Amino acid sequence: MPSNAPLPKSLLANGNLVVMNALWIVLIVLALFAVWVIFSYNRLVSRRNEVDNAWSQIDVQLKRRLDLIPNLVETVKGYASFEKSALEAVIDARSKAMSAAPTPVAQGAADIGLTGALRQLFALSEAYPDLKANTNFLSLQEELQNTESRVAYARQFYNDAVERYNNTTQSFPGVIFARGFNFADREYFEAEAAAATPPSVKF
């Protein structure tokens, strides 16, 4: 066959088929890569939103407790012989909690102080039968204790969400997108120290 003779149609068809197949393979690979990128990014967004939602639940309960404290203080103030230092500790702890930065570490530290002050006040109230029998005091005490339980539950939910989020941002492939799209690790909400330390009660 002369060197300048045209290629047979079958060879041209085969060559075009190979090119088309290669092009399809490249397109499929690119499509799969795009799906993987979208899935990985959306997973990070979902985890981050889960953490934000969990934190909002803690914030609601912390604010609810802060709102209950003034009524508690006013009720206890009616008992002139009640230890002023216990009331001042609660008022001071509430003030610090209200001015604490809206971060898990700062709020956790404030929560420890407030929880400890409240437990001290409730422990001291045991020496005042009239106060213990006060309907308003008992109602506030129950509400505060229920709120503390809800804070503990919300804290566990939040910390679990943070663990899932941090695991995603620190492991492959999330670590790639975390660095590129500013998905910073989140802090845990630690407020267990007060529970581990019983209040010192002096009558």
pLDDT at residue 182 in the model = 85
Q: Which tokens sit at 10?
A: 């079958």
Is residue 169 predicted with pLDDT exceeding 60?
A: yes
Q: Are the C-beta atoms of residues 160 and 79 closer than 8 Å to each other?
A: no
End-to-end CA distance of the chain: 115
Q: Are the C-beta atoms of residues 173 and 40 closer than 8 Å to each other?
A: yes
Where is average pLDDT lowest: 1-15, 37-51, 86-100, 117-131?
A: 1-15
13 pLDDT band, cuts 50/70/90, is low
Where is average pLDDT lowest: 18-22, 73-77, 156-160, 192-196?
A: 192-196
| Average confidence (pLDDT) over 3-16 | 57
Residue with tokens 């620190």, as numbered in its chain:
170
Is residue 87 predicted with pLDDT exceeding 80?
A: yes
Q: Give the closest residue to 125 by CA, choosing from 113, 141, 147.
A: 141
Is residue 80 predicted with pLDDT exceeding 90?
A: no
Q: Give the closest residue to 163 by CA, choosing from 39, 58, 57, 50.
A: 50
Backbone angles phi, psi at 120, to 5 degrees: -65, -45
| Average confidence (pLDDT) over 177-196 | 76
User: Length of the chain in residues, anyone?
Assistant: 203
CB neighbours of residue 18 within 10 Å: 10
Instruction: Determine whether 184 is exposed, middle or buried from the number of CB atoms within 10 Å of its CB (0-12, 13-18, 19+).
Output: exposed
Q: 84-99 vs 9-77: helix axis angle to the nearest 10? A: 150
How confident is the prediction for the chain on average, in pLDDT?
85
- Please give the domain boundaries of the chain with CATH numbers for all domains: 50-196 (1.20.1440.20)
CB neighbours of residue 43 within 10 Å: 15
User: What is the reported pTM?
Assistant: 0.78
Where is average pLDDT lowest: 50-64, 147-161, 175-189?
A: 175-189
